Amino acid sequence: MSELVVRAEGLRKRFGKTQALDGVDLAMRRGTVLGVLGPNGAGKTTAVRVLATLLKPDEGYAEVAGIDVLKHPQRVRRRIGLTGQYASVDEDLTGTQNLVLIGQLLDMHSADAKKRAAELLEWFDLSEAAGRPAKTYSGGMRRRLDLAASLVGRPEVIFLDEPTTGLDPAKREDMWGVVRTQVAEGSSVLLTTQYLEEADALADEIVVINKGRVIAFDTPDGLKRRVGGLTLRVRPADPARVPDALRVLDMVAAPGTSASTDNTAGARGGAVSVPVAADTALDEALPALRRAGVEVTELGLHLPSLDEVFHALTSEDAPAPKEAELV
Amino acid sequence: MTTLTINPTTTDLDIDRPRGGALAALMRHSVALARRSLIKTIRTPEALIDVTLQPVIFLLMFTYIFGGAIAGGDRHGYLQYLLPGLLAQSLAMGGIALGQNLNADIEKGVFDRFRSLPVARIAPLAGAVAADVVRYLTVCVVMLGFGTIMGFRVETGFLPAVAAVALAIGFGLSFCWISVWVGMIVRSSGAVQGVMFLLIFPLSFGSNVFVQANTMPGWLQAFVHVNPITPLVGTIRGLLVGGPVASPLWQTLAWMAGLLVVFVPLALRAYSRRA
């Protein structure tokens, strides 16, 4: 069993009439990415603020890097980096000044702080803008500077609260690269997001929070498996052969289902998909397609997308699964 | 160059102890944060209007519009009386911007980052207050400089004048903690100004800044005598144009200490609570 670097039990926090956290348990293994997913107002940010020592919970226990967050906040602060939901860089300071200030507040020597700032600015492709006040930066640049600021002290645990909200897709992928690099270098990352795609791409494990409660905790694949079965998808090389492909796939369909043209959101046309009972359907489908003379450019088994999982878990009429047990 | 800086082998014990001890760390962090505030001040010079243009306008207005009527035609005499008083009022007003800036910083989330770093709670506030010295010094230089052009003369000497400036800045640094506290408790930076004006106008007009207290009704005189601005103005006046200094000086110092004792803890508590 690997070591837990974030552990929270029974966190509760109330703001006026809103129960922002209603008994949240969290666990993150060292060297992994934990994705915290949930709709707006689910309590994701509140949970991060508690773990990052910014907010005291009404009830509950939390430890980060093995240190009690409530008893020794200063010790926790030496080991974490936080990037909030809104880019909180200082607009009047230059990129370098922003990062050097953080370094100084982390008790780095001035020369070390400057060196680290230059290193991070270079890495985040901000070297050219290093001497300009941050108010002249574009939204994406600010976001990168904000992320750089949370990495100045080479933190053991990094909290990223919706780090890619409002970024265009290319910039988002850059950010994912940064997260992966941090984990490769030994950090652990807790990241909240509203984008399922992001959680799917980055997280080793996912916690789904809704209305201040954890409603699921699993690996991305485990979550997908929980909601629906496998789908077999085929794309004929010649779009005119789609009807033939449909006929072939009907033969391997799970009981009570049939093949259909794939029209999931965002998919290119011309694909055919069918729910299957087990992965052995693949072994049957390929020879059958060969016999029918249908050439394919794509053939594969898919789990349902996290989007489907998420909607199934958070929709109000779905019975809320209670088995959100932790490791 | 030592090997320590090149090769920081941090054990758990090292990482938990601030470099050079807690007090040294607090000083270092406050200086770093004060530097941040100064950079902001330099980048936005228009934010200095309240400590440059505004006191000058007050000085001109009261000397040339009201001065003749108040002092029976002796405008120069009134300027000698008015300037030390306006200096005190301008210092009290000069602290308003501090509360507004801190409020805006919190709203923007800049302070979340500071709060997630291993710095003492008071460091961001102490740093911002320390940087305000520049603004208070500006008030003093502008008023004495422009006053001199208008005909104001220091009648005591160089050292008493320096003492007056030092006292004025010291008072500014104590009084501004009210603004810091207000900045922590109200919701918008605009509200900071509203609340502070509500406090400063009665204090500065209900004092000996503009006219002598013995021209006022008795109940108002009673207020003037318990007003912290009154002994401050008395001391600065004594140090710049002559008059008793000792008694108002002690009262002023007592007020400064009192303001710090009450409002520093209040501001800190409000800062800790503000999520």
The token pair at A89 is 């860089």
Please check the confidence at residue B244 and state whether its pLDDT lies above 50: yes
B5/A109 Cβ within 8 A: yes
Tell me, rounded to whole angstroms, the distance of Cα B51 from its chain centroid: 10
Model-level pTM? 0.80
Report the candidate in B216, B208, B258 with the shortest Cα–Cα distance to residue B233.
Answer: B208
Q: Give me the pLDDT at residue A311, please.
A: 74
Q: Which residue among B8, B110, B117 sits closest to A105, beta carbon to beta carbon?
A: B117
Chain B interface, mutation test: which of A78, A96, A160, A162, most B Cβ atoms within 10 Å? A78
Q: Which A residues, 77 through 96, put their C-beta within 8 Å of a C-beta on chain B?
A: 77-82, 84-86, 88-90, 92-93
Query: For residues B156 and B240, is the Cβ–Cβ distance under 8 A?
Result: yes
Give the tens place of pLDDT for each residue, A227-255. Answer: 667 888 888 888 888 888 888 888 888 77
CA distance A70 to chain B (A): 13
Per the listing, tokens 């009907």 go with A250
Report the SS3 class of residue A27: strand
Tell me, rounded to whole angstroms, the distance of Cα B158 from its chain centroid: 23
A54/B116 Cβ within 8 A: yes
Could you tell me the maximum CA-CA distance found in chain B, to the nearest angstrom?
A: 76
B101 touches A: beta carbon within 8 Å = no
Residue B16's contacts (CB-CB under 8 Å, 6 or more residues apart) are A74, A75, A78
Q: How many contacts does A have with B, using Cβ atoms within 8 A?
A: 79
Q: What percent of chain B has pLDDT over 70?
A: 94
The residues pairing with A59 across neighbouring beta strands, listed in sequence order, are A12
Q: What is the DSSP string of A98-151?
A: HHHHHHHHTT--HHHHHHHHHHHHHHTT-GGGTTSBGGGS-HHHHHHHHHHHHH
CA distance B27 to chain A (A): 11
Question: Which 8-state DSSP code applies to residue B64?
Answer: I
A77/B113 Cβ within 8 A: no
Per the listing, tokens 């008072």 go with B171
Report the candidate in A120, A116, A124 with the shortest Cα–Cα distance to residue A171.
Answer: A124
Question: Which 8-state DSSP code applies to residue B215?
Answer: G
Please check the confidence at residue A190 and state whether its pLDDT lies above 60: yes
Residue A265's contacts (CB-CB under 8 Å, 6 or more residues apart) are none
pLDDT band at A299 (very low <50, low <70, confident <90, very high): confident
Q: What is the DSSP string of A76-98?
A: HHTTEEEE-SS----TTSBHHHH
- Chain A residues touching B117 at Cβ < 8 A: 77, 102, 105-106
3-class SS string, A180-225: HHHHHCCCEEEEEECCHHHHHHHCCEEEEEECCEEEEEECHHHHHH
B32/A105 Cβ within 8 A: yes
Report the candidate in A229, A226, A321, A212 with the shortest Cα–Cα distance to residue A276.
Answer: A229
Please check the confidence at residue B250 and state whether its pLDDT lies above 60: yes
The token pair at A129 is 């803008």
A93/B39 Cβ within 8 A: yes
Sheet-wide strand order for A260-261: A260-261, A272-276, A230-236, A296-302
A302 φ/ψ angles, rounded to the nearest 5 degrees: -130, 145
Mean pLDDT over A185-207 rounds to 91
Please check the confidence at residue B213 and state whether its pLDDT lies above 70: yes
Chain B interface, mutation test: which of A105, A136, A147, A157, most B Cβ atoms within 10 Å? A105
Give whole-number Cα distances, B10 to A180, A181, B15, B22, in Å.
25, 22, 6, 18
Exposure class string for B229-245: b at 16+ Cβ within 10 A, else e: bbbbbbbbbbbbbeeeb
Residue B217 or residue A261, greater confidence: B217
Report the candidate in B160, B173, B131 with the shortest Cα–Cα distance to residue B43.
Answer: B131
**Residues A162/A163/A166/A171 CA torsion (nearest 10 deg):** -150
Q: Give me the pLDDT at residue A184, please.
A: 93
Q: What percent of chain A has pLDDT over 90?
A: 48
Chain B interface, mutation test: which of A79, A101, A136, most B Cβ atoms within 10 Å? A101
Give the tens place of pLDDT for each residue, A209-221. Answer: 988 999 889 998 8
Please check the confidence at residue B83 and state whether its pLDDT lies above 70: yes
Tell me, rounded to whole angstroms, the distance of Cα B162 from its chain centroid: 17
Report the SS3 class of residue A320: coil
B108 touches A: beta carbon within 8 Å = yes
Tell me, rounded to whole angstroms, the distance of Cα B75 from its chain centroid: 29
Q: Which amino acid is at A87?
A: A
Closest-approach residue (CA) in chain B for A149: B113
Chain A interface, mutation test: which of B19, B108, B117, B121, most A Cβ atoms within 10 Å? B117
Give whole-number Cα distances, B219 to A146, B70, B201, B224, in Å.
57, 21, 18, 9
pLDDT band at A70 (very low <50, low <70, confident <90, very high): very high
Q: What percent of chain A has pLDDT over 70?
A: 92
Query: For residues A217 and A207, is the Cβ–Cβ distance under 8 A?
Result: yes
Q: Which amino acid is at A260?
A: S
Per the listing, tokens 């996290």 go with A306
Average pLDDT value for chain A: 86
CA distance B273 to chain A (A): 9
Q: Which residue among B19, B33, B117 sits closest to A77, beta carbon to beta carbon?
A: B117
First to last CA, chain A: 9
CA distance B16 to chain A (A): 6
Please check the confidence at residue B95 and state whether its pLDDT lies above 90: yes
